[in-house]
Chains A and B, each alone.
Chain A
Amino acid sequence: MSLLTLFLIIFVLFVLIRIMPGNPFPVERMSAEMILQKRAELGLDNPIMVQFADYMSLLLSGSFGNGTSLYNGAPIKPILLTCLENSFKIGVLSILFGTVTGLLIGITAALHRGKFLDGFCTVLSILGVCIPSYVFMIFLQYTFSYKIPFFPYFFDPSQFLFSSIMPSLSLSLLSVSVIARFTRNEMVEVMNSDYVKLAESKGIYGFQLMRKHVLRNALIPVVTVIAPLVVDLLTGAMVIEKIYGINGVGKLMVDAIAGEGIDYNYVLALGIVFSSLYIGVMLILDILYGIIDPRIRLAAKEH
Chain B
Amino acid sequence: MEKTYTPQKGDFDFISDRDINVDLNFASQGYWKGVAIHFLRDRFAMTGLLLVSIIILFAVFAPILSSYSYQDIISATDTNGKQIVAKSLSPQFAGDGEGFFVDRTFLFGTDDMGRDLWTRTWQGARVSLIIAFVAIFIDMLIGMSYGLFSGFFGGHVDNIMQRFIEIIGSIPTLVIISILAIFMDKGIGLVIASLLITEWIGMSKIARAECLKLKEREYVLASRTLGASSFHIIFKQILPNTIGPVITQVMFSIPVAIFTEAFLSFVGVGIVLPQCSIGSLIEAGFNNITILPYQILPPIVVLAILMLGFNLIGDGFRAALSPKLEDM
Q: List residues of A whose CB falls within 8 A of some B CB.
A: 5, 8-9, 12-13, 16-17, 20, 126, 129-132, 134-135, 138, 142, 146, 231, 234-235, 238-239, 242-243, 253-254, 256-258, 262, 264, 267, 270-271, 274-275, 277-279, 282
Q: Within the assembled complex, what's the spacing in Å between the Cα atoms of A258 and B185? A: 10
Q: Judging by beta carbons under 8 Å apart, are B182 and A279 in contact?
A: no
Q: Within the assembled complex, what's the spacing in Å between the Cα atoms of A257 and B185? A: 11
The listed residue (A17, A238, A243, A254) touching B179 by CB distance below 8 A is A17
Q: Judging by beta carbons under 8 Å apart, are B282 and A135 in contact?
A: yes
Number of interface residues of B (CB under 8 A): 35
Q: Judging by beta carbons under 8 Å apart, are A262 and B282 in contact?
A: no
Q: Judging by beta carbons under 8 Å apart, are B266 and A134 in contact?
A: yes
Q: Within the assembled complex, what's the spacing in Å between the Cα atoms of A132 and B170? A: 23
| Closest-CB distance, A269 to chain B (whole angstroms) | 11
| Closest-CB distance, B187 to chain A (whole angstroms) | 12
A5 contacts across to B, CB distance below 8 A: 166-167, 170
- Tell me if B146 is interfacial: C-beta within 8 Å of chain A: no
A234 contacts across to B, CB distance below 8 A: 172, 174
Q: Judging by beta carbons under 8 Å apart, are A138 and B289 in contact?
A: yes
Q: Judging by beta carbons under 8 Å apart, are B266 and A239 in contact?
A: yes
B262 contacts across to A, CB distance below 8 A: 132
Chain B, 139-173, CB within 8 A of any chain A CB: 166-167, 170-173
A132 contacts across to B, CB distance below 8 A: 259, 262-263, 303-304, 307
- Tell me if B183 is interfacial: C-beta within 8 Å of chain A: yes
Q: Judging by beta carbons under 8 Å apart, are B308 and A126 in contact?
A: yes
Given the known inter-chain contacts A8-B167, A9-B170, please indicate yes or no for A271 contacting B175, CB distance below 8 A: yes
> In this complex, which of B166, B170, B263, B308 has the most chain A Cβ atoms within 10 angstroms of its Cβ?
B170
A243 contacts across to B, CB distance below 8 A: 286
User: What does the 1/0 interface line of B280-304 toward A look like (CB < 8 Å)?
Assistant: 0010001001100100100010011
B259 contacts across to A, CB distance below 8 A: 132
Q: List residues of B whose CB falls within 8 A of some A CB.
A: 166-167, 170-175, 177-179, 181-183, 186, 255, 259, 262-263, 266-269, 282, 286, 289-290, 293, 296, 300, 303-304, 307-308, 311
Q: Closest residue of chain B to A264, judged by CB?
A: B182
| Closest-CB distance, B199 to chain A (whole angstroms) | 14
The listed residue (B179, B255, B286) touching A267 by CB distance below 8 A is B179
Q: Judging by beta carbons under 8 Å apart, are A138 and B179 in contact?
A: no
Q: Within the assembled complex, what's the spacing in Å between the Cα atoms of A234 and B175? A: 11
Q: Judging by beta carbons under 8 Å apart, are A253 and B178 in contact?
A: yes
| Closest-CB distance, A2 to chain B (whole angstroms) | 8
A264 contacts across to B, CB distance below 8 A: 182
Q: Within the assembled complex, what's the spacing in Å between the Cα atoms of A275 and B303? A: 30
Q: Within the assembled complex, what's the spacing in Å between the Cα atoms of A226 and B160? A: 28
| Closest-CB distance, B50 to chain A (whole angstroms) | 15
A254 contacts across to B, CB distance below 8 A: 267-269
Q: Within the assembled complex, what's the spacing in Å between the Cα atoms of A20 and B178? A: 13
Q: Within the assembled complex, what's the spacing in Å between the Cα atoms of A194 and B183? A: 57
A sample of 20 inter-chain contacts (CB < 8 A) reads A5-B166, A16-B182, A126-B308, A129-B307, A130-B311, A131-B307, A134-B263, A134-B266, A138-B282, A138-B296, A146-B289, A235-B263, A238-B263, A256-B178, A257-B177, A258-B268, A267-B182, A275-B170, A275-B172, A278-B171
| Closest-CB distance, A140 to chain B (whole angstroms) | 12
| Closest-CB distance, A1 to chain B (whole angstroms) | 9
Q: Within the assembled complex, what's the spacing in Å between the Cα atoms of A71 and B264? A: 24
Q: Judging by beta carbons under 8 Å apart, are A274 and B266 in contact?
A: no
A138 contacts across to B, CB distance below 8 A: 282, 286, 289, 296, 300
Q: Closest residue of chain A to B300, judged by CB?
A: A135
Q: Judging by beta carbons under 8 Å apart, are B300 and A258 in contact?
A: no
Q: Judging by beta carbons under 8 Å apart, are B178 and A267 in contact?
A: yes
A146 contacts across to B, CB distance below 8 A: 289-290
| Closest-CB distance, B44 to chain A (whole angstroms) | 9
Q: Within the assembled complex, what's the spacing in Å between the Cα atoms of A298 and B164? A: 29
> In this complex, which of A17, A258, A282 has the most chain B Cβ atoms within 10 angstroms of its Cβ?
A258
Q: Judging by beta carbons under 8 Å apart, are B167 and A9 in contact?
A: yes
Q: Within the assembled complex, what's the spacing in Å between the Cα atoms of A242 and B279? A: 14
Q: Within the assembled complex, what's the spacing in Å between the Cα atoms of A138 and B311? A: 22
Q: Judging by beta carbons under 8 Å apart, are B181 and A13 in contact?
A: no
Q: Judging by beta carbons under 8 Å apart, are B289 and A130 in contact?
A: no
| Closest-CB distance, A12 to chain B (whole angstroms) | 8
B286 contacts across to A, CB distance below 8 A: 138, 243
Q: Judging by beta carbons under 8 Å apart, are B179 and A16 in contact?
A: yes
Q: Judging by beta carbons under 8 Å apart, are A130 and B304 in contact?
A: yes
Q: Judging by beta carbons under 8 Å apart, are A13 and B179 in contact?
A: yes
Q: Within the assembled complex, what's the spacing in Å between the Cα atoms of A10 and B266? A: 28
Q: Within the assembled complex, what's the spacing in Å between the Cα atoms of A231 and B38? A: 35
Q: Within the assembled complex, what's the spacing in Å between the Cα atoms of A258 and B182? A: 10
| Closest-CB distance, B27 to chain A (whole angstroms) | 30
> In this complex, which of A234, A253, A264 has the most chain B Cβ atoms within 10 angstroms of its Cβ?
A253
Q: Judging by beta carbons under 8 Å apart, are A282 and B170 in contact?
A: yes
| Closest-CB distance, A135 to chain B (whole angstroms) | 5
A257 contacts across to B, CB distance below 8 A: 177-178, 181-182, 269
| Closest-CB distance, A226 to chain B (whole angstroms) | 16
A239 contacts across to B, CB distance below 8 A: 263, 266-267
